[in-house]
A and B are shown apart, each in its own frame.
Chain A
Amino acid sequence: MSVLVDKNTRVLVQGLGKTGQFHTDKAIAYGTNMVGAVHPSRAGTRFQFEGETDHSGVPGRDDTYSVDLPVYATVREAAAETGANASVVYVPPPFAADAIMEAAAAGLDLVVAITEGIPVADMIKTKRYLEGKATRLIGPNCPGVITPGECKIGIMPGYIHKRGKIGVISRSGTLTYEAVHQLTLLELGQTTAIGIGGDPVHGTNFVDCLQMFQDDDETEGVIMIGEIGGTAEEEAAGFVKAKMTKPVAGFIAGTTAPPGKRMGHAGAIVSGGKGTAEAKIEAMTSAGIVVADTPSGIGEAMLRALG
């Protein structure tokens, strides 16, 4: 098993610009079931171009580079026609929140929002809109979700992943790659890696992901990578202490970050004495989480946690 996505996940793409093209090509090459595209003014045409990646390793594809997907006017129509149950959002920031809500309104199981720079107010409304709906949102401002060997939704490099037994949850893109790479080198591999994103208001949080990995038979341990800002890591530590039976390792970025300065991510800021790395590391350690001193030690920390 895995969580969130697998070989049966059928994915739509929203946002057909340069980024959407580039990553649709990569996703198809990885073997992801890309089934359609959504664009209000291009409905009835094809999302068709020559990609830069060889697709010949994917079973059932005789051509090697070309991408050719049907374009629908709305997510609702696309889902009805293709049986899609997930979508990936590359829509530019001013329109991205609307794209997320549209995917939820169409009843998709999963929306992965890659877009960086969505206004906070838009996400506040979107989050409220999603309440009571079955759709799960990952992101925004995240690398996406991958179940190695089955389904890659997002912008992470597929080849550093390897199917295995560790679940990965992270607020940061490249730090996720660090952890994944080490797990691959250590032959531990990953069940699913989830980037939850660096924005202050986002969909799925650490606790949601920890619960999913706790319930997943194949996952034997979990890595959580946090950073300064907010109190999500402290809440996750509380959950680990109270509910998790599987070993958890982690890392927190931003020990040296000066207060009052946003460190790149909109959500990464220490203000009013809240959101410090020290408080997070302390909470995690006291919950029995093995916290690595440096990112280079994340894999080793997982090994220690596994015992």
Chain B
Amino acid sequence: MVKTYVHPYIPNSVPETKQEMMREIGIKDIEELYVDVPKKFRLKRRLNLPKPLSEHEVRRKVEVLLSKDKTTRDMPTFLGAGCWAHHVPAVVDAIVQRSEFLTSYTPYQPEISQGILQAMFEYQSMICELTAMDVANSSLYDWASGLGEAMRMAMRLNNRTQALVPRIIHPERLATLQTYVEPLGLQIKSVGHNPKTGLLNLNELKQKCSDATAAVYIENPSYLGFIETQVEEIAEIAHRKGALFIVGIDPISLAVLKPPGEYGADIVVGEGQPLGNHMNFGGPLLGMFACRGEMELIRQMPGRIIGMTTTLDGSKTGFCMALQTREQHIRRERAASNICTNEALCALASAAYLAMLGPQGLRELGETIMLKARYAMQLLSEIRGVRAPVFESPHFKEFTVNFGKAGKTVKSVHQALLKHHGVHGGKDVSREFPELGETALYSVTEVHSEEEIERLAQALENVLNVGKG
């Protein structure tokens, strides 16, 4: 038993209070409450953990550790690939720190949770507007697991056994998808692309798409940054065979790019992190999930969905969780998904973010990002030995950079950039796609100033051609 220690988080540990409570329930020792734990299993020592620290010590300890890290603010960083540096307005941070939101949980009691419920309904509505879909849920964990859920949903809808995904897909998303569908025995086949443009090989898609295809999945912008332009053709090929069309998106592109709902998508998944969420070393993220409005689809949708309703007496509009009969706490082993805790606070951040930017703001942001990324591609491709981008298609914010002609590996170039120039290069994709040779995936957004882009180009020039590496 813990004897005298009183921690500010544990008020009744004050000895007098504790005694009084024990007296009330008729015990002399806390251990009497653990009598039913078999003795042989009891831990007969204290847990091997550090001694309690004061708040000041906790703060020092964590800050000292974190001071060993470099953040993207300390060095121009050109990483993306599923998690991106975007500006998070101060308003968004202020809103998600409101402890009425922060310290609440799933709105099981809607009458005292109208705040988060309405915010989630607004989030869902704005995701629908962005994607041009009818229904969105109030979040899944991230894009990768959202894709897994989407494919499972497709299988529930048409009982088919194969999925078609592009050869150019984020490897972590592919790995997660495999994990999610393996128990169902779903076979994942990949579809190649035109090596020049990166665009999906439609003939191959036609050959592979059959009556066994549950869904065709594409990413737009693609994992390697280029924009897939044959979207209507892909949708038609999928639909002709009765397969669903699932599209993975970066929502920050959707005031500029055509929304997937306008080119035949049945399910849309994506990463909501760019909309007002910090990178946090890769999590929490925000799994976006939307689908068409047919009841058949809605009933198979995973995750919490908030609906607009009225009070029972009809006098007031209000919000509550809808369609809970799909969910695990009601339907148990027959549920559409097991998800319970989701990423509501990240969805709240995105709702606030979209409200801040508005339609025009989001379009200007998209254009700014494309312009800066294009500027970076132009500067980089002027460097001897560099090819950027590898694919001859329009790109959004990410693009491939190849160092093959410079005779250097991505690894050596990036080490030199980091060590001698304080610049962090993009993600090395040379092992993911060996056919691309020494290639990296760079990301440029509104947070990269022109000076930083120029600094990157200068640094690469030095590393590759001046020879001081």
Are A and B co-members of a single complex?
Answer: no
